[in-house]
Amino acid sequence: MAERNSIQWDAVSIKLVFGLLSAVALVFLIAPTVIVLITSFTASQSLKFPPQSLSLRWYTALWDADQMQRAAWHSLVIASWTTVISVVLGTAASLAIARSRSPLLRAADLVFMSPLLLPALAFGFAALIFVNKLGFTPSISFIVLGHVIVCVPFVLRTTLAALSQLDPALLEASESLGGSAWMTFRRVTLPLISSGVGAGAFLAFMASFDNVPVSLFLADERSEVLPIHLWQQIETNLDVRTAAASGLIVMFTLVLMLIAEKFAGLTRQMR
Amino acid sequence: MTASGSRLILPLAALFFACFVAPLLVLLALSLHSDVAMKAWTIGNYAKFFTDPFNYSILVDTLLLGVKATLVCLIFGYPIAWLCARASARWQSVLLFLVILPILTSVVVRTFAWIVILGRQGVLNQIAMGLGLVHEPLRLLNTEMGVVMVLAQVQMPLMVLPILTVLSKMDPNLADASRVLGAGEWRTFWKVTLPLSLPGIIAGCILTYSANITAFVTQSLIGGARLIYMPLHIYQQAVGANNWPFAAAISIIFMMAVIAVVAVLSVFARASETYGRA
């Protein structure tokens, strides 16, 4: 009997410990998002939480925040270009890497993935020196190129994962039926890997929209991007409009995530 | 695959060569010169870094900060992955959605939220004082503990996802066999589940560690101007002091440190993968 009890206690205690740690971790993960959303609806001048009363005044104040709007527009344009270029080049490269055993292509894959691990700030600085040495001045085009380098790994990762699930017999069937390489890609491969590519595109877009370390060196006053604008606002004067802008970004992220989950099965792709 | 298939890699390879490899080579070259005109080669910048205890301690602090934040990620992230692996498909999606949400929310926004939470009048201090745990507000912003907490929250998903991948691929018969043979749940966890999930743990540690030590926004906004870590040091030398050659040397040293840590962990990862088969 004592033996039986000890076994049950063993099973209960492991669930209790792991459950408690997970619960703490989940609160820890979600709390900041919830708090920033609630704070953004405050009616007062301060960022005190919980707010005394709620209002939309800081959201309406965003209408007049010209500088912030311009920065948001730059970020959208840059993130869109970055996503398009990353998806086209990344998908093409994935097709080559997925079906090859050549050590050269494996090495290339390692180089393409390295921006995920290396300090992006050091790369941003290197990019600034390079642009400067070539005699150019930083501009939006250079920001896009810099962002592609740090965002393309997301497209490669999800697309390569999708390609590894692809049955090669389908491609052989298409080829033996006389389909050209392009037609096989367009009609067979692409539809089967589209959710992998889609999830990668979404991650690349978010990574570019949120990038600070690369933009910090390549952007100037004319090409200021949203995260840097907000970062400077937070460092200098904690203005409640920053909270409203943050609230908008959180809602925008949530909506995009739900869309990505519905059409590309985001949570499945990220595993 | 035909040769024409391999050629699809060329556009991205060309872009990486022009916009990634070339700038890094220029960075390396600049770090070996004393001024931006790059007339004479020198190792002076490196000598300056390693002979000055101030510079040296920033590197050590940064590497240690990464260890602390990665450990917090592991202690809290492993149970989430464990729970996810046991949940039904529907709950698994919900849990994963909650885990991924923070990493996709703008890092500036997340850090801003933490300023509201950790401030003197912040949520955490209100709770602690309300419960009578402390009598005056704790200083959390601009402290290393604050930076570790925020880094752990920001990077947690990078730990959970690789561990979950390994846990959900694990053969449940192994744990069952251990139980049938009389080992309790805890013994089964320490002797079977945990060792078998080592490849996922190490993959998670590689991702979170490199993200933690390079997290410029979080480190500088939560740490403030007094707590200097390597990314802020590079930024201050490059933009504040306008000393490009020295900033280039710090960047190269920092990159080498990251590569060294990743290389060592990768060796462990390869060794741990043979554990299950041995």
Tens-digit pLDDT profile for residues A114-139: 999 999 999 999 999 999 999 988 88
B6-23 mean pLDDT: 93
Report CB contact under 8 Å: B79, A122: no
Report CB contact under 8 Å: A32, B247: no
Please list, residue by residue across A130-139, b when 16 or more beta carbons sit within 10 angstroms of its beta carbon and e when fewer do.
Answer: bbeeeeeebe
Of A37-46, A135-144, A190-199, B197-206, least confident by mean pLDDT is: A37-46
Mutate to test the interface with B, among A76, A91, A130 (most CBs of B within 10 A): A130
Enumerate domains of chain A plus CATH numbers: 61-269 (1.10.3720.10)
A79-88 mean pLDDT: 97
How many whole angstroms separate alpha carbon A118 and alpha carbon B253? 12
The DSSP line for chain B is: --HHHHGGGHHHHHHHIIIIIHHHHHHHHHHTBSSTT--SB--HHHHHHHH-HHHHHHHHHHHHHHHHHHHHHHHHHHHHHHHHHHS-HHHHHHHHHHHHHHHHS-HHHHHHHHHHHHSTTSHHHHHHHHTTS-SS----TTSHHHHHHHHHHHHHHHHHHHHHHHHHHS-HHHHHHHHHTT--HHHHIIIIIHHHTHHHHHHHHHHHHHHHHH-HHHHHHHHTTTS--HHHHHHIIIIIS--HHHHHHHHHHHHHHHHHHHHHHHHHHHHHHTTTT-
Report CB contact under 8 Å: A32, B8: no
Check residue A6 and give its pLDDT: 64
Tens-digit pLDDT profile for residues B213-256: 999 999 998 998 889 999 999 999 999 899 999 999 999 999 99
> Are residues A126 and B245 in contact, defined by beta-carbon separation less than 8 angstroms?
no
Q: DSSP code of A222?
A: G
B228 shares contact with chain A (CB less than 8 Å): no
DSSP-based three-state secondary structure for A170? helix
Check residue B278 and give its pLDDT: 43
* Confidence band, pLDDT 50/70/90 cuts, at residue B210: very high
Mutate to test the interface with A, among B12, B78, B151 (most CBs of A within 10 A): B12
pLDDT at B147 over 90: yes
B224 shares contact with chain A (CB less than 8 Å): no
Report CB contact under 8 Å: A234, B79: no
Report CB contact under 8 Å: A111, B21: yes
DSSP-based three-state secondary structure for A54? strand
Of residues A252 and A236, which shows the higher confidence score?
A252
Q: How far is A203 from chain B (nearest CA, A)?
A: 8
Report CB contact under 8 Å: B97, A6: no
With a CB-CB cutoff of 8 Å, which residues 90-129 of chain B face chain A?
A: 92-93, 95-102, 104-117, 121-123, 126
Which residue, B202, B203, B231, B225, is CA-closest to B63?
B231
B60-71 mean pLDDT: 96
Tens-digit pLDDT profile for residues A99-113: 788 888 889 999 999
Enumerate domains of chain B plus CATH numbers: 43-273 (1.10.3720.10)
Pick A14's closest partner by Cβ from B5, B185, B259.
Answer: B185
Report CB contact under 8 Å: A89, B12: yes
With a CB-CB cutoff of 8 Å, which residues 18-47 of chain B face chain A?
A: 19-24, 26-27, 30
A154-176 mean pLDDT: 88
A33-39 mean pLDDT: 88
- Tell me the residue length of chain B: 278
* Chain-centre distance for alpha carbon B106: 17
Check residue A2 and give its pLDDT: 52
Tens-digit pLDDT profile for residues A212-222: 999 999 988 78
Pick B116's closest partner by Cβ from A11, A36, A203.
Answer: A36
How many whole angstroms separate alpha carbon B142 and alpha carbon B56? 21
Report CB contact under 8 Å: B26, A270: no
Which residue, A76, A77, A108, A107, is CA-closest to A92?
A108
